[in-house]
């Protein structure tokens, strides 16, 4: 469906007219999941009360972890595995998990952010720690000498479908009634991906990649320029690649680097043109609450060592360790913690604000890192939606030409024989939208509700009449976008040493200290883009340092 046809189809709907206005007013909901105002305290405060530094008022521990996203939770796990239990994890939100949290709408569990994890490759030694975690959680086990994944957590079929030319088709690559020229360009891009996979070792985490010079050069240009250089102008191919980049990186092909665009395919399942032989798509692990299923279990063993509603306001190295000042959002009192070392598992722009005398590499990354805002909508429907023919309802459902990234069905993993009420989790990336962060913060719940219902009604005309509640979760700085500049910085790090060690090494050099291990930095921002595997690897590595 061409964009003008999509807009015409939406405009023709009586969604916002008198006929359905009473149904729209009946829909409940609001903003949930993230305390936006709590994060803005750190941004807006000009000063903080000085906590008491007397010995009786100062709290002490061996290690402080600042930030309870995936990286912070992974660092805590690494400490526990080493037998180090004298630590605390300080988290701003009410729950740990970062972008990987789950929730519920009308009693139905659903994701509030990241919703799946690709099955780690058995041939990738850099994924050992992640595979061990999955084994610990019972997701993976050895059966008759072979590793197997629990079928409950492997994404059930059908996995993906696309609403294209007025009907649903299997898969997300547009194939129904496309021209011969389109198919030729699909094959051309598949060849480029395969050539890149043969000449370079693309991996996740990216700090373990070994890239040929031609692939290093991709970090300096945008993905759309790379496509133009290779004569790839087909609108269907470009729509699909743009969708993939927005889905993984929060911005489209005109914003992300060519390295990032190729990495999406070369590091995982490749790109397969219609009719090409393939061994099948890589497995995907998913749960009704998305990756919140994992982070909830990573947080559980921490007990009282996990301190939520804590805003870290200052991190400073001292002669004998590290001081960390914290505002307790529950009591509105400031606290001072002292430790031998601190793992800074905060976004780069936050770390640069709270670390006193930040190292140059931290300041530089904070200045050049561009973040993608995200909106997640959890839409509760009381009955199954009617389909307009074609492929069957799937886990991931995308509308061609739409502003959003489609939705996943929170009940897809359910074995219930008759479809019933469910929650559709809709995603929209705003990384290349003008004033995207401002829109995210200032637009009303009703405005987002009307726009998203109109968008999805192109494929589901009965959606509004079956919707009872919509809850929105807003992430102002959801992920670091791998722009050409940021990707080039990443490759510089790869050429020298793993990205998660570089800040510590530069900190040593700047302070002329031979053995300074008081600050370690761990966050997916250091990889240039936000995926679970990157955050977990960096956090686990930082927590493993002694």
Same domain flag for 448 and 407:
yes
HSE at residue 411, side-chain half, CA atoms within 13 A, is 20
Domain boundary among 479, 502, 536: 479
Spatial neighbors of 285 by CB under 8 A, at least 6 apart, are: 116, 117, 118, 119, 134, 139, 149, 153, 154, 155
Tokens 């031998």 -> residue = 340
Whether this prediction's pTM lies above 0.95 is answered by no
Q: Tell me whether residue 380 is in a domain.
A: yes
Q: Tell me whether residue 138 is in a domain.
A: no
- Kindly report the three-state secondary structure assignment for every residue of 149-196: ECCCCECCCCCEEEEECCEEEECCCCCCCCCHHHHHHHHHHHHHHHHH
Q: Tell me whether residue 356 is in a domain.
A: yes
Q: Tell me whether residue 162 is in a domain.
A: no
Per-residue pLDDT at 54: 58
Same domain flag for 419 and 471:
yes
Same domain flag for 350 and 493:
yes
Same domain flag for 378 and 438:
yes
Per-residue pLDDT at 429: 97
- The total number of structural domains in the chain stands at 3
Q: Tell me whether residue 192 is in a domain.
A: yes
H or E stretch covering 311: strand 310-317
The CATH number for 432's domain is 3.90.660
Q: Tell me whether residue 77 is in a domain.
A: yes
Structural domain that includes position 249: 182-281
Q: Are 488 and 510 in contact (CB under 8 A)?
A: no
| Greatest Cα pair distance in the chain | 76
Dist. CA 532–CA 546, nearest whole Å: 24
Domain boundary among 462, 479, 496: 479
Dist. CA 385–CA 329, nearest whole Å: 42
Burial of 325 (0-12, 13-18, 19+ CB in 10 A): buried
Same domain flag for 442 and 474:
yes
Q: Are 500 and 452 in contact (CB under 8 A)?
A: no
- Digit-by-digit pLDDT tens for the chain (546 residues) are 444 444 444 444 444 444 444 478 899 999 998 888 877 877 777 677 777 665 557 899 999 999 999 999 999 999 999 999 999 999 999 999 999 999 999 999 999 999 999 998 776 666 789 999 999 999 999 887 788 999 999 999 999 999 999 999 999 999 999 999 999 999 999 999 999 999 998 888 877 778 888 888 898 999 999 999 999 999 999 999 999 999 999 999 999 999 999 999 998 888 998 887 665 556 899 999 999 999 999 999 999 999 999 999 999 999 889 999 999 999 888 999 999 999 999 999 999 999 999 988 888 888 889 999 999 999 999 999 988 778 999 999 999 999 999 999 999 998 776 788 999 999 999 999 999 999 999 999 999 999 999 999 999 999 999 999 999 999 999 999 999 976 666 555 544 333 433 444 443 434 333 335 689 999 999 887 788 999 999 999 999 887
Q: Name the token pair of 376.
A: 């997640």
In this structure, the number of other CB atoms found within 10 A of the CB of residue 386 comes to 10
Q: Strand order in 467-480's β-sheet?
A: 28-31, 467-480, 371-381, 422-429, 407-409, 396-399, 160-164, 167-170
Per-residue pLDDT at 21: 46
Same domain flag for 410 and 361:
no
Dist. CA 140–CA 11, nearest whole Å: 48
The CATH number for 92's domain is 3.50.50.60
Is 540 strand, coil or helix? Answer: helix
Q: Name the token pair of 175.
A: 């194939």
Tokens 């929209």 -> residue = 428
Domain boundary among 231, 248, 281: 281
Per-residue pLDDT at 10: 43
Burial of 433 (0-12, 13-18, 19+ CB in 10 A): middle
Is the bond preceding 320 in cis, omega lying within 30 degrees of 0?
no
Q: Are 146 and 134 in contact (CB under 8 A)?
A: no
């Amino acid at each position: 469906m061409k964009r003008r046809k999509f807009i015409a189809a939406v405009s023709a709907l009586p969604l916002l007219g008198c006929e359905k206005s009473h149904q729209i007013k009946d829909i409940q909901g609001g903003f949930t999941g993230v305390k936006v105002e709590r994060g803005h305290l750190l941004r807006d405060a000009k000063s903080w009360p000085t906590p008491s530094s007397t010995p009786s008022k100062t709290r002490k521990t061996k290690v402080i972890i600042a930030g309870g996203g995936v990286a912070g939770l992974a660092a805590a796990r690494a400490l526990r595995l080493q037998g180090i239990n004298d630590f605390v994890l300080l988290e701003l939100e009410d729950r740990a998990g970062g972008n990987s949290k789950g929730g519920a709408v009308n009693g139905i569990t659903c994701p509030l952010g990241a919703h799946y994890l690709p099955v780690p490759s058995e041939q990738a030694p850099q994924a050992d720690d992640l595979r061990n975690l999955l084994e610990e959680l019972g997701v993976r086990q050895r059966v008759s000498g072979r590793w197997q994944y629990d079928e409950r957590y492997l994404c059930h079929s059908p996995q993906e479908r696309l609403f294209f030319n007025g009907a649903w088709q299997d898969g997300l690559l547009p194939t129904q009634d496309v021209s011969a020229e389109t198919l030729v360009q699909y094959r051309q891009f598949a060849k480029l991906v395969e050539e890149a996979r043969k000449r370079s070792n693309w991996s996740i985490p990216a700090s373990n990649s070994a890239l040929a010079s031609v692939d290093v050069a991709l970090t300096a240009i945008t993905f759309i320029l790379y496509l133009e250089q290779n004569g790839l102008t087909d609108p269907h191919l470009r729509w699909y690649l743009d969708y993939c980049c927005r889905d993984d990186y929060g911005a489209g092909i005109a914003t992300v680097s060519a390295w990032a665009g190729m990495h999406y395919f070369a590091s995982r399942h490749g790109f397969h043109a219609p009719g090409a032989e393939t061994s099948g798509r890589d497995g995907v692990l998913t749960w009704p609450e998305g990756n919140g299923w994992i982070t909830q279990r990573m947080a559980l063993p921490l007990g009282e060592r996990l301190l939520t509603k804590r805003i870290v306001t200052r991190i400073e190295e001292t002669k004998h360790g590290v001081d960390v000042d914290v505002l307790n959002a529950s009591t509105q009192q400031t606290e001072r913690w002292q430790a031998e070392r601190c793992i800074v598992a905060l976004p780069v722009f936050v770390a640069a604000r709270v670390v006193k005398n930040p190292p140059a590499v931290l300041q530089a990354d904070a200045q050049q890192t561009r973040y993608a805002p995200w909106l997640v909508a959890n839409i509760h429907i009381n009955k199954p939606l009617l389909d307009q023919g074609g492929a069957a309802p799937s886990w991931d459902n995308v509308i061609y030409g739409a502003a959003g990234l489609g939705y996943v069905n929170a009940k897809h993993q359910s074995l219930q024989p008759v479809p019933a009420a469910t929650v559709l989790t809709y995603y929209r990336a705003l990384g290349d939208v003008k004033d995207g962060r401002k829109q995210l913060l200032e637009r009303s719940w009703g405005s987002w509700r009307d726009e998203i219902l109109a968008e999805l009604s192109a494929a589901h005309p009965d959606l509004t009449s079956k919707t009872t509640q919509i809850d929105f979760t807003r992430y102002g700085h959801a992920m670091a976008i791998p722009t050409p500049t940021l990707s080039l910085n990443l490759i510089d790090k790869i050429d020298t040493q793993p990205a998660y060690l570089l800040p510590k090494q530069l900190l040593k050099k700047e302070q002329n200290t031979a053995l300074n291990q008081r600050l370690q930095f761990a966050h997916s921002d250091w990889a240039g883009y936000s995926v679970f595997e990157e955050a977990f690897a960096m956090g686990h590595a930082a927590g493993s340092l002694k």
